[in-house]
């Protein structure tokens, strides 16, 4: 599944800490008619999305740095 990703550090003002965002987008064509009749299952797609989410969450502390610890 091809993924598009982007990351942004935003600052409300010069003295505020960065607000970090990461965006991940994946696109997959799905036939709703085939899903409806059970010919196309989305389990594998959702499993891949879950794996990407878990990967990002596990590595977030390293990307955010020591200031994220609190």
Cα–Cα distance, 3 to 5 (Å, whole number): 6
Cα–Cα distance, 31 to 41 (Å, whole number): 10
pLDDT of residue 69: 56
Say yes or no to pLDDT of 19 above 80.
yes
Mean pLDDT (the chain, rounded): 87
Contacts of 3 (CB under 8 A, 6+ apart): 24, 25, 26, 52
pLDDT band for position 32 (50/70/90)? very high
């Amino acid at each position: 599944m091809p993924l598009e990703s982007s990351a942004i550090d935003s600052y409300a003002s010069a003295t505020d800490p960065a607000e970090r965002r990461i965006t991940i987008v994946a696109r997959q064509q799905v036939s709703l008619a085939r899903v409806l009749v059970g010919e196309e299952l989305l389990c594998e797609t959702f499993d891949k999305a879950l794996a990407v989410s878990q990967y990002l969450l596990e590595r977030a502390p390293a990307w955010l740095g020591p200031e994220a610890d609190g």
